[in-house]
């Protein structure tokens, strides 16, 4: 009496086969009801007569002895029944569960069953001891594995192990499964062994390409037990000589769902076992690697194929922006992965910045926070095994900026939300990179007249807080006209202050001209100089009338960010412009957020368009700075 999965082994047979002859082994076994041959596997799938070895049924033909055999009980003759002997042909032992065995798969013309056998083809001999419902735990701890392992003496190449799917499906923890896989591998420590990755499970119709008609069991959900075990396998377990990865050919390694294309059960028969189509696809994916095994560890290749991220444009400012997913390919061992300038994510997992490892077939995304400034590019670089690519994210142009910078009327434009234009040093050698740093220089983005704003001394630098914040003592940013200013000009500012007295725009070298003067209770003019009575003001696009210093104070000194326009200024009286620094009266040194936005030539034909765009540009800066 034998138990299930017992190995029945005869003495070696000596057979002489004439050169060029064809021969076939026929196997029979004796039960209480007679001799049996087989043409079906234990779950009833037909086996071609050309490879039949055992048969069972109510009444079957005895293909060895002739006649028929009556079956009077429900017992079945389980295969495989192996006849093995000494051979000079290299052979492999395939170890695993029903997927290794080839359940529900088709038999090839060479008599191969299952994707491992099909991948081997006729390159090697194979003894397949895959068993239905088996687990790494059972093989690692069960007595019957010893009998199956005994078949190794008839093979000359290291075994191929497939276990894992049934283990994940059970209640065993991922760490225990990995320990059991290591125990299985230790059985083959004398020669080493090869491994395959493991397949997922799902239920559903398996017809929709997006997998929405599939449900993945809890243990197989992305980021769970299945992924943990799979990652350990891909990272190459102890004693493992290499890993064959057939699974990307048949299921989505991001969602762990089986691939489908509208054909019912294209890749899976029952949610567990690959279909004949899938078996062939899996075999094809690893065939060249399997047929190249020679018992030595494969040359480790951790340099992936080149990968490319698709750069993003017109991105929103200060926004987390993720790249497309790239799939790691071309490596056969875990490869180092690192990132600079952002974060990366493997297989939809957590976003990280620390260096790690990645394996073949895994997907990777990167992300970064886009610049707070308009039309500004930020970069994150991913490196895998020495191969790198950069994901670039460029923010959209600020409202009004594109048109504003191209207008003839625009003599200068400044953007305090774009730190790439701001520097702590007047020579541009030290950039502004954070809030509350001193600003010695803010470049003119128009770039025609190069009216760059520069602090007279380091001691007079405003801070980058809120864009530009002046201290009301001696802070100033100045620019000088190339020769003289335009005949009539408009200055556009952003002002946010609770100051009670100050002057926003001032001549750089004399007391002869200023504009934007405010003082609580003071009825003097807000402008001074040639034709000062003609100067007009607008707040947030709305014209102000009867402007005195007190009127301007009432309108702009309320702690709210406003867009202030000062137009019809006789600019020829200004040798240059000093922001917030009064030469007329030291008590009029302005404090708070004061940001020059644009200088416009009112006599230019496109002035009206430029003014509209400057207003929009100023509002966009307010939004980006959050003031």
Q: With bands split at pLDDT 50, 70 and 90, how would you rate the model's confidence at 105? A: low
Q: Residue 574: which residues within 8 A CB-CB, separation 6 or more? A: 481, 485, 507, 508, 513
372 and 627 Cβ atoms separated by less than 8 Å:
no
Q: If DSSP codes are grouped into helix, strand and coil, which group holds residue 184?
A: helix
Q: With bands split at pLDDT 50, 70 and 90, how would you rate the model's confidence at 65? A: very low
pLDDT at 236: 86
Average pLDDT score over residue span 524-540:
93
pLDDT, greater one: 315 or 441 = 441
d(CA 19, CA 87): 15
312-395: which CATH topology? Answer: Immunoglobulin-like (2.60.40)
pLDDT, greater one: 144 or 149 = 149
Lowest mean pLDDT across 6-15, 475-484, 613-622 = 6-15
Q: With bands split at pLDDT 50, 70 and 90, how would you rate the model's confidence at 341? A: very high
Q: Which two tokens stand for residue 137?
A: 């735990």
Helices first, then strands: H and E counts in the chain: 11, 37
Average pLDDT score over residue span 191-198:
93
Average pLDDT score over residue span 32-43:
42
CATH 3.40.50.1110 range(s) for the chain read: 87-290
pLDDT at 51: 41
495 has which bridge partners? 562, 594
pLDDT per residue as tens digits for the range 148-168:
888 888 788 999 999 999 999
CATH 2.60.40 range(s) for the chain read: 312-395
Q: Residue 71: which residues within 8 A CB-CB, separation 6 or more? A: 33, 56, 57, 58, 59, 60
- CATH (residue range 87-290): 3.40.50.1110
pLDDT at 174: 95
Which uninterrupted H or E stretch holds 344?
A: strand 343-346
pLDDT at 551: 96
pLDDT at 492: 98
pLDDT per residue as tens digits for the range 367-416:
999 887 777 889 999 999 999 999 999 887 766 677 888 899 999 999 99
d(CA 403, CA 609): 8
Lowest mean pLDDT across 282-296, 327-341, 492-506, 507-521 = 282-296
Average pLDDT score over residue span 483-492:
83
Buried b (16+ CB within 10 A) or exposed e, 357-396: bbbbbbbbbbbbbbbbbbbbbbebbbbbbebebbbbbbbb
Q: Is the dihedral of CA 395, 396, 401, 407 positive or negative?
A: positive
Q: Is the peptide bond before 80 cis (omega within 30 degrees of 0)?
A: yes
Write down the pTM of the prediction: 0.45
Average pLDDT score over residue span 430-450:
93
pLDDT at 345: 96
pLDDT at 147: 77
pLDDT at 36: 42
Lowest mean pLDDT across 15-29, 423-437, 508-522, 594-608 = 15-29
Q: If DSSP codes are grouped into helix, strand and coil, which group holds residue 307?
A: coil
Residue 330 buriedness (CB in 10 A; 0-12 / 13-18 / 19+)? middle
CA proximity to 123, closest of 8, 258, 283, 302: 283
pLDDT per residue as tens digits for the range 23-37:
444 444 444 444 344
126 has which bridge partners? 92
Residue 527 buriedness (CB in 10 A; 0-12 / 13-18 / 19+)? buried
Q: What is the number of other CB atoms lying within 10 angstroms of the CB of residue 216?
A: 22
Strand residue runs (E) in 184-319: 193-196, 203-204, 214-215, 240-244, 251-252, 257-258, 312-315
pLDDT at 548: 95
pLDDT at 29: 44
pLDDT at 139: 92
Q: With bands split at pLDDT 50, 70 and 90, how would you rate the model's confidence at 5? A: very low
The secondary structure of 268-292 as a DSSP string is BSSSSSBPHHHHHHHHHHHHHHHTT
Average pLDDT score over residue span 578-606:
95
351 and 343 Cβ atoms separated by less than 8 Å:
yes
Give the end-to-end CA distance of the chain in Å, rounded to a whole number.
Answer: 87
pLDDT at 575: 86
Q: With bands split at pLDDT 50, 70 and 90, how would you rate the model's confidence at 332? A: confident
pLDDT at 483: 63
pLDDT surpassing 90 at residue 562: yes
Q: If DSSP codes are grouped into helix, strand and coil, which group holds residue 47?
A: coil
pLDDT per residue as tens digits for the range 66-90:
455 444 444 444 333 444 444 566 8
Average pLDDT score over residue span 581-595:
94
CA proximity to 337, closest of 279, 402, 387: 387
């Amino acid at each position: 009496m034998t138990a299930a999965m017992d190995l029945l082994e005869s003495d070696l047979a000596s057979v002489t086969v004439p050169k060029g002859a064809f021969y076939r082994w026929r196997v029979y076994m004796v039960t209480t009801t007679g001799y049996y041959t087989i043409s079906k596997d234990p779950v009833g799938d037909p086996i071609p007569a050309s490879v039949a070895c055992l048969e069972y049924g109510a009444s079957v033909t005895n293909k060895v002895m002739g006649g028929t055999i009556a079956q009077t009980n429900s017992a079945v003759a389980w295969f495989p029944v192996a006849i093995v002997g000494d051979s000079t042909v290299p052979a492999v032992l395939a170890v695993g569960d029903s997927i290794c065995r080839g359940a529900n798969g088709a038999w090839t013309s060479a008599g191969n069953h299952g994707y491992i056998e099909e991948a081997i083809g006729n390159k090697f001999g194979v003894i397949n001891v895959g068993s239905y419902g088996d687990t790494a735990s059972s093989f690692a701890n069960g007595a019957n594995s010893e009998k199956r392992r005994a078949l190794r003496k008839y093979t000359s190449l290291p075994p191929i192990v497939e276990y894992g799917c049934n283990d994940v499906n059970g209640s065993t923890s991922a760490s225990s499964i990995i320990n059991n896989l290591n125990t299985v591998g230790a059985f083959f420590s004398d020669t080493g062994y090869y491994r395959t990755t493991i397949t997922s499970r799902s239920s559903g119709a398996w017809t929709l390409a997006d997998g929405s008609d599939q449900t993945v069991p809890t243990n197989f959900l992305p980021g769970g037990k299945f992924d943990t075990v799979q990652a350990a396998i891909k990272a190459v377990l102890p004693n493992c000589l290499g890993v064959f990865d057939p699974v990307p050919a048949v299921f989505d390694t991001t969602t762990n769902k089986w691939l489908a294309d509208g054909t019912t059960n294209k890749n899976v028969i029952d949610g567990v076992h690959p279909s004949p189509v899938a078996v062939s696809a899996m075999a094809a994916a690893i065939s060249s690697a399997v047929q190249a095994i020679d018992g030595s560890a494969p040359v480790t290749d951790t340099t992936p194929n080149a990968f490319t991220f698709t750069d993003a444009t017109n991105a929103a400012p200060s926004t987390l922006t993720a790249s497309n997913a790239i799939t790691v390919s071309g490596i056969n061992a875990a490869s180092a992965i690192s990132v600079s300038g952002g974060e990366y994510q493997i297989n939809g997992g957590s976003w990280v910045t620390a260096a790690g490892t990645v394996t073949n077939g895994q997907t990777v995304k990167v992300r970064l926070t886009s610049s707070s400034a308009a039309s500004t590019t930020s970069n994150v670089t991913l490196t895998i095994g020495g191969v790198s690519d950069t994901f670039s994210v460029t923010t959209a142009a600020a409202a009004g900026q594109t048109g504003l910078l191209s207008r003839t009327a625009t003599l200068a434009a400044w953007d305090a939300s774009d730190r790439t234009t701001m520097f702590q040093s007047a020579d541009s050698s030290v950039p502004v990179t954070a809030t509350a740093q001193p600003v010695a220089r803010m470049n003119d983005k128009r770039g025609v007249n190069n009216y760059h704003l520069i602090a007279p001394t380091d001691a007079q630098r405003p801070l980058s807080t809120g864009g530009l914040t002046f201290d009301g003592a001696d802070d100033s940013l100045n620019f000088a006209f190339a020769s003289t200013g335009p005949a009539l000009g408009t200055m556009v500012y952003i002002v946010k202050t609770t100051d009670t007295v100050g002057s926003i725009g001032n001549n750089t070298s004399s007391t002869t001209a200023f504009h934007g003067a405010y003082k609580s209770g003071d009825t003097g003019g807000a402008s001074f100089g040639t034709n000062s009575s003609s100067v007009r003001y607008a707040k947030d696009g709305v014209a102000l009338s009867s402007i005195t210093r007190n009127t301007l104070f009432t309108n702009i000194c309320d702690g709210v960010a406003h867009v202030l326009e000062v137009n019809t200024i006789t600019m020829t009286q200004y040798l240059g412009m000093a922001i917030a620094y009064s030469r007329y009266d030291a008590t009029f040194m302005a404090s708070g957020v004061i940001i020059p936005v644009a200088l416009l030539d009112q006599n230019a034909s496109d002035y009206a368009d430029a003014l509209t765009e400057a207003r929009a540009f100023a509002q966009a800066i307010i939004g980006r700075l959050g003031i």
